[in-house]
A and B are shown apart, each in its own frame.
Chain A
């Protein structure tokens, strides 16, 4: 998902306070910034919301790659709007993280120096225009699976930012599928591009949900805190069940020979992605990992004079205003 392998922090707090806190969550109450919360809840959320925000921001890069080369003016305008939305999503989430007492600059620093991660999916390259379709259809589709339930998460600011994001995300997935339909119904070369994009993005999309819950020691605490709403396997299964018929509609083949509908469980059996690849990407060894952080670092460095000049200008105006009073 946009937040993967989030380590849940243990809490050393007063057991009585912890129990009262858990009771509030169990009763469906929202936790707000000024409410008492366990240190572990705060830390885990900063990590999770921060990683989610970073993913939105870094996620602009693979798609930004195609803005100048979109096939029509309309496609270009749509892609621009989509990439702008991703920036917006990042900003909503940074705001939510900041209510927990971390600053925006700290979050940026932690992304740039590798202390914080972003979703593994954005370490993959976007090689053709069909990838814009696959990213919208599969990547945003997978994101929606996770984000819809997160609208009910226990932390108020996080839940509210998810509500805003989900409203916009559906446009993203549909514009992706629209590109895929066009390509899949196009020339043979376009069909091949569409199939190739699906081939390359299928397993990385499955990885977005994170490793099987059997491997995950942190899920339990996060689920009790309602900052993780469903298990990784549950969401992955839901994603596959939803996506396979869509691929059939497009006339494309899911690159998994073992894929078969299982009547007993009422869903598809499918092959696991290569988890060693996933862990390698998370460590920063994805095909575009270095490029992504370099691009963020460059944006941060190149923007420094703008940040400083705006502050200096505001200070000067403020001084003039005070002098005039």
Chain B
């Protein structure tokens, strides 16, 4: 299986491009108010984690979209490759019994 960086090109400072002093890229995850898990909302540039949180607050939560923010350096995210879609997900195709609707339960049994 191939693992890839989420942002393939990498940030400029990783490309060794000394001319370009771009701030590192961070991925932002926000947890909404209703007890759901953190959800990816986008990315932004910041110099360090505290700065990224500050920017994430301004860019992604102007309307109380969340009660908690996670920021992760984009370069640290490892992602599965689209080419591995088949080997990763196809095995689930013939296991429909994993879904409750696979089983017929008579109405007489009541709610289950």
Show the binding face of A for B, using Cβ within 8 Å. Answer: 32-36, 81, 84-85, 88, 91-92, 95, 98-99, 101, 103-105, 160-161, 164, 168, 307-308, 310-311, 313-314, 317-318
> Could you tell me the distance in whole angstroms from the C-beta of A301 to the nearest C-beta in chain B?
14
B20 and A105 within 8 A (CB): yes
- Which residue of chain A is the closest to B9 with respect to CB atoms? A101
A34-B83 Cα distance, complex, nearest whole Å: 9
Q: How far is the CB of A110 from chain B (nearest CB, A)?
A: 14
Distance of A36 Cα from B4 Cα, bound (Å):
14
Contact sample, A vs B, 19 pairs, CB 8 Å cutoff: A32-B82, A33-B6, A33-B7, A33-B8, A34-B6, A35-B82, A81-B62, A92-B42, A92-B59, A95-B43, A101-B9, A103-B9, A103-B12, A103-B22, A164-B41, A307-B21, A314-B47, A317-B48, A318-B48
| B72 within 8 Å of A (CB atoms) | no
Tell me whether A34 and B12 are in contact (CB under 8 A): no
| Cβ A314 vs Cβ B8 within 8 A | no
Asked if B7 and A307 make an inter-chain contact with CB atoms under 8 angstroms apart, the answer reads: no
Q: How many A-B residue pairs have CB under 8 A?
A: 61
B79: CB under 8 A from chain A? yes
Instruction: Pick the contact of B42: A36, A161, A168, A313 (CB < 8 A).
Output: A161
One of A33, A81, A95, A308 near B21 (C-beta < 8 A): A308
Could you tell me which B residues sit within 8 Å of A by CB distance? 4, 6-9, 12, 20-23, 25, 41-45, 47-48, 51, 58-59, 62-63, 79, 81-82
A314 CB contact (under 8 Å) in B7, B42, B51, B62: B51
The CB with the most chain B CB atoms within 10 A, among A35, A104, A161, A317, is that of A104
Contact: B79 with A34, CB < 8 Å? yes
Given contacts A34-B8, A88-B59, A91-B44, contact A311 B81 (CB under 8 A): no
Is there an interface contact between B81 and A85, defined as CB atoms closer than 8 Å? no
B-side contacts of A98, CB under 8 Å: 7, 25, 43
- Which residue of chain B has its CB nearest to the CB of A160? B42
- A310 to B46 alpha-carbon distance, docked (Å): 9
Q: Residues of A contacting B44 with CB < 8 Å?
A: 91, 95
Q: Are B62 and A88 in contact (CB under 8 A)?
A: yes
The reply to whether B81 and A34 contact each other, CB–CB distance below 8 Å, is yes
Q: How far is the CB of A35 from chain B (nearest CB, A)?
A: 5
Point out the residues of chain A lying under 8 angstroms from B6, CB to CB: 33-34
Chain B residues near A307: list those with CB within 8 A: 21, 23
A311 touches B9 (CB 8 A): no
B22 & A105 in contact (Cβ 8 Å cutoff): yes
The answer for the CA separation of A206 and B3 in the assembled complex, in Å, is: 48
A310 touches B9 (CB 8 A): no
Q: Determine the distance from Cα of A33 to Cα of B74 in the docked complex, in whole angstroms.
A: 13
Which listed residue (A88, A99, A103, A310) contacts B51, Cβ 8 A? A310
A310 touches B12 (CB 8 A): no
A34 lies within 8 A of B25 (CB) = no
In the bound complex, what is the Cα–Cα distance between A310 and B52 (angstroms)?
12
Instruction: Assess A34 versus B22: contact at CB under 8 Å? Given A85-B62, A95-B44, A310-B51.
Output: no
Cβ contact within 8 Å between B48 and A91: no
